[in-house]
């Protein structure tokens, strides 16, 4: 399994012959190294409906035929736009040909904003993602604040890599994310959702160095890869 980070909260997973994009916010993302016009995806996983996470999902999925897996309301909304969708919800798991996906809790919002029309479309509950494939477990927390049920992930899952937001203001900051990392108990922790724009600037390297000694913090730059 190969994992790569591509700015903001964009993660690519290559496993079992499939390419999976998580939250493909590419256009307008000055921190990414990917181009929405030529990036490949077999599957797109979405944590919630905010514009900086849904991003280029519609364009990519229409061009590549990628299946979009998302919380029910968001999947329904995207299905109305002609995409091949698989709706799920928090606590539910499903086995796909590439691995198993389960949605976990996240405390945040979820809506698609059309600034030109002045409308906001509610897209259901936000979520985190557990992805299991090739004997490995990946957790992408999505956008969230710290909450005590994160301890359950550490009790019931053996997480190899966790992607945790540290940007603050909209999500956990480094201090709360450090607690989340301890509770989740992942072997490796990658900070995400920071430095994309001034309001969420953080020191990813300092966060990684602050983690408990039994956890490896990895401050990934756009294009960096981890092989499990």
pLDDT tens for the chain, 228 residues: list them. 999 999 999 999 999 999 999 999 999 999 999 999 999 999 999 999 999 999 999 999 999 999 999 999 999 999 999 999 999 999 999 999 999 999 999 999 999 999 999 999 999 999 999 999 999 999 999 999 999 999 999 999 999 999 999 999 999 999 999 999 999 999 999 999 999 999 999 999 999 999 999 999 999 999 999 999
CA distance 40 to 78: 19
pTM for the full model? 0.97
CB count within 10 Å of CB 47 equals 27
Phi-psi category of 223—alpha, beta or left, where left has phi over 0 and alpha has psi -120 to 50? Answer: left
- On whether residue 227 sits in a domain, the answer given is no
CATH of the domain at 28: 3.60.15.10
Q: How many domains does the chain have?
A: 1
- On whether residue 124 sits in a domain, the answer given is yes
Query: Domain limits at 205?
Result: 2-215
Provide the sign of the torsion angle of the four alpha carbons 32, 166, 15, 224, taken in this order: positive
β-strand pairing of 43-45 with 18-22: parallel
CA distance 108 to 110: 7
Closest CA to 159 of 178, 136, 190, 134: 136
């Amino acid at each position: 399994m190969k994992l790569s980070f591509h700015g903001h909260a964009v993660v690519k997973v290559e496993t079992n012959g499939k390419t999976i994009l998580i939250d493909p916010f590419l256009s307008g993302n000055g921190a990414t190294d990917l181009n929405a016009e030529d990036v490949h995806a077999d599957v797109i996983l979405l944590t919630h409906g905010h514009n900086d996470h849904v991003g280029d999902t519609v364009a990519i999925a229409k061009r590549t035929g990628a299946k979009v897996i998302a919380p029910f309301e968001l999947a329904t909304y995207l299905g109305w736009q002609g995409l091949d969708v698989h709706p799920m919800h928090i606590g539910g798991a499903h086995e796909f040909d590439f691995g198993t996906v389960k949605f976990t809790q996240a405390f945040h919002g979820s809506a698609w904003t059309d600034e030109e029309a002045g409308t906001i479309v509610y897209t259901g509950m936000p979520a985190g993602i557990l992805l299991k494939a090739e004997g490995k477990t990946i957790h992408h927390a999505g956008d969230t604040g710290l909450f005590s049920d994160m301890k359950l992930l550490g009790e019931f899952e053996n997480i190899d890599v966790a992607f945790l937001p540290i940007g603050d203001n909209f999500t956990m900051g480094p201090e709360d994310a450090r607690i989340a990392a301890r509770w989740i108990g992942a072997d490796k922790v990658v900070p995400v959702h920071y430095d994309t724009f001034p309001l969420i600037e953080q020191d990813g390297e300092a966060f990684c160095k602050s983690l408990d000694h039994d956890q490896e913090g990895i401050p990934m730059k756009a294009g960096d890869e981890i092989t499990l």
